[in-house]
Amino acid sequence: MSSSAVTAGGSKWVLDFYPRGYVMPEHASLYLNVANPEALTSDWSCHVTFTLSVLNPATKEPVEKATFSKLFNKEVHSWGKNNFISIRGMQSGAYCVNDTIMIGAEISSVKEVAHDIEDWGIMPDGRHRFVWKVQNYKSTFARLKTGQKISSASFSTGDLPWFLDLYPNGYKNANYIAVYLHSGQSSKEAKSARVPFALSIFDNHAQQFVTCANLCQTFDKVARCWGKHMLKKKADIMVG
């Protein structure tokens, strides 16, 4: 089920609700989607911080909610949650009153950003280096809370698609930034792959990349994201 379109931040959006679930049959799914993805240009991107919720019909307060901070583009124009609410809960009347369910969406920030990944080619150690230059970092740091992220554009190694997730105010620990390598394959298409990779940050004083995590992990349908939640102290990043 799709809602009518609303305008926020110069773009039109719709809510997509799957009462019987999208990929998880025991849970209903809810997504924020660009209203006209076929009309987007190939270089369009929009970073959105938003909250999806199911409201109590009497109090109008959220019964269930989830907050996201995602990059939308022509290729990935829908974000949300597969297991948003329990179908059993809906059937029991926990969310539905007088045969009506109330779904809310709050878009707290819409900002067009350049999250392109630069291909720096093969390095002397044989690894393929990709670089994400995160612009307006201080304003991004101030805007996002702990646990909220921004995502890079996608890039590929061989036939595998990837993107990076950055938590400027940390994923679990607010004193550290967190960075993860995320498989771009859908959960239905994901194949198991053992991948060695390093996460680095450019040191402007030393004029070189500093490796903060050297990892080798298996990406598959269950584990599509690996990284480090204490990659670098936030205080060190904000200096200068």
CATH of 117-238, one of 2.60.210.10, 2.160.20.10, 2.60.40.3120, 1.25.10.10: 2.60.210.10
Domains 6-111 and 117-238 share a fold: yes
- Pick the residue with more confidence: 237 or 200? 200
Say which CATH topology domain 6-111 has.
2.60.210
Q: What is the pLDDT of residue 48?
A: 85
Q: Quick one: which of 228, 135, 223 has its CA closest to 173?
A: 228
pLDDT surpassing 90 at residue 74: no
Whether the pLDDT of residue 146 is over 80: the answer is: yes
Domain spans of the chain? 6-111, 117-238
Select the more confidently predicted residue: 211 or 138. 211
pLDDT score of 188 more than 70: no
Please indicate whether residue 133 or residue 71 has the higher confidence score (pLDDT): 133
Mean pLDDT computed over 82-111: 82
Percent of the chain with pLDDT over 70: 96
The average confidence (pLDDT) of the chain is: 86
What backbone phi and psi angles, to 5 degrees, belong to 193? -150, 130
Q: Is the pLDDT of residue 41 over 90?
A: no
- Give the rounded distance of the alpha carbon of 110 from its chain centre: 14
pLDDT for 194 equals 93
What pLDDT was estimated at residue 181? 96
**Mapped to the 3 state alphabet, what secondary structure does the chain carry?**
CECCCEEECCEEEEEEEECCCCCCCCEEEEEEEECCHHHCCCCCEEEEEEEEEEECCCCCCEEEEEEEEEEEECCCCEEEEEEEEEHHHHHCCCCEECCEEEEEEEEEEEECCCCCEEEEEECCCCCEEEEECCCCHHHHHHHCCCCCCEECCCEEECCEEEEEEEECCCCCCCCEEEEEEEECCCCCCCCCEEEEEEEEEEECCCCEEEEEEEEEEEECCCCCEEEEEEEEEHHHHHCC
Q: Is the pLDDT of residue 212 over 90?
A: yes
